[in-house]
Amino acid sequence: MHHYIEKILRAKVYDVAEETPLDYAPMLSDKLENRIYLKREDLQPVFSFKLRGAYNKIASLTPAQTVHGVIAASAGNHAQGVALAAKKLGIKALIVMPKTTPEIKVKSVKARGAKIVLHGDSYDEAYAHAQELVADKGMTFIHPYDDPEVIAGQGTIAMEILRQHNADIHAIFVPVGGGGLLAGIVAYVKFVRPEIKVIAVEPDDADCLNQALKAGQRVILEQVGLFTDGVAVKQVGAEPFRLAQQFVDQVITVSTDEICAAIKDIFDDTRSVAEPAGALAVAGMKKYIEQQGVRQQTLVAIDSGANINFDRLRYVAERTQVGEHREILLAVAIPETPGSFLKFCKTLGKRSITEFNYRYFDQQMAQVFVGITSSGVESDRRQLIEQLVGDGFKVTDMTGNELAKDHIRYMVGGHAPCELNEKIYSLQFPERPGALLKFLLALGSQWNISLFHYRNHAAAFGKVLIGLQISASQCVAFEKCISNLGLMYQHETDNPAYRLFAGRSVGPVAE
């Protein structure tokens, strides 16, 4: 411990790194009934804490160790730290990155002058290739986490936290990949303020530290999830594991949905967008508060990075509602009779439907995929399912089904199994609570719905695609009905997209 304290106090990180703020998060604090602070490592020049350890390590090398340059293996953030540190010190750098690395990180590394080799689908494959290049080129390897100088560089974060907030702190939450950040923080905190809990947070599909602590030794995971790419590591470092065994108070694992919800929480308070690994600590902190019932305590979460591809935000937004327990996803069997969908909506009462996917297939029962708003309390889902079952509906809970959320929800339906003589309309209506139920009440039970798709995107207008088994003469009455509701509509039966992918006709479609 004395060894690490000395290294942390002498670390040379501030030649390139910033002392980042410890920001109070008012919205999170109010929602979680605790005093929440975010350590803003996303504000570093490379938008990640990794710069600290990389620079401290490279600055400690002798001229003989740097004559052929330095090399690193990284999913992105360590790579940027090494590239910037090497450029600052006038040393050439080569970075081996997994092919799955987000493009924004690859471009950032190139922009800082380092050469890049893309190899493998995970950090471990990139690491193995980097070791081969070390032997071939005589370069010095800069380990991202399993090195005392790197650990000491990351430990300066703990030094700043305790200086910036010298009052009571209940716990500090730290994201974990290989464990270098955790090792540096726990070494400093447990020496200076041992009463403060240090809690490690990992994704539940990449929990190498959690599994190692359970086994009493380091283990190698067979595979790791890639969503939280910054911590997608199969084996925790040897030195971080040694320190974690002695001093870490607890390990918490979180789901993809919980991480996405934490990204939104950070955005709401800071207007910055964390990468999945960057929001990991906040996700773990929220879960800890829920499990332990902690109230009116001071909690610190490390916002470790903000290197996220813009096009991933669509996926993050989609999963956030489930992560916040504000959307329930169900497969529900509904009798294939006019008015059954209306009965289903009446059963839901004041709840809003966020999504409804359905395609006529069987004359007896319809199988629908539905998203329903929730209060944010986990028990609300159980109560809703019990209510639907009590009203005679057969329900399968899809909220925790990864296949359903990633794929099946977009694949419900397909071509009609027989000729339905249906008419297709696209509709728009002002998006407000109860708008969809009002629309269905106006339709009543006079027309049979053969196709229905609706997805609430939190926009000003809701959009519905609806198919009805009605004659050409009945179209007049239907269009009059929706016009009286003030809804915008368009007749889509001849739309080639419908005919190719959802209608009965599967032959060539004329332009």
Point out the residues that are catalytic: 50, 304
- 3-state SS track over 180-220: HHHHHHHHHHHHHCCCCEEEEEEECCCCHHHHHHHHCCCCC
Q: By three-state DSSP, how is residue 312 classified?
A: helix
DSSP assignments along 458-495, one per residue? SSSEEEEEEEE---HHHHHHHHHHHHHTT-EEEE-TT-
Asked whether 201 and 175 are in contact (CB, 8 A), the reply is: yes
Q: Number of helices (H) and strands (E), helices first, in the chain?
A: 20, 18
Spell 183-204 as b/e; 16+ CB within 10 A means b. Answer: bbbbbbbbbebeebbbbbbbbe
DSSP code for 48 = B
Asked whether 47 and 82 are in contact (CB, 8 A), the reply is: no
Rounded-to-integer distance, Cα 390 and Cα 405, Å? 26
Q: By three-state DSSP, how is residue 412 classified?
A: coil
**Tokens at residue 364, please?**
């007896």
Dihedral Cα 214, 216, 217, 222, nearest 10 deg: -20
Question: Residue 213, CB half-sphere, CA atoms under 13 Å: how many?
Answer: 19
Which residue, 478, 350, 346, 488, is CA-closest to 430?
488
Please give the backbone phi and psi of residue 261, each rounded to the nearest 5 degrees, phi first: -65, -35
Q: Which uninterrupted H or E stretch holds 289?
A: helix 280-292
Rounded-to-integer distance, Cα 259 and Cα 274, Å? 10
Cβ neighbours for 54, distance < 8 A, ≥ 6 positions apart: 72, 78, 81, 82, 84, 85, 142, 144, 150, 153
Dihedral Cα 363, 367, 371, 373, nearest 10 deg: 70
Cβ neighbours for 217, distance < 8 A, ≥ 6 positions apart: none
**Tokens at residue 368, please?**
């629908």
Asked whether 425 and 468 are in contact (CB, 8 A), the reply is: yes
**Tokens at residue 27, please?**
């919205």
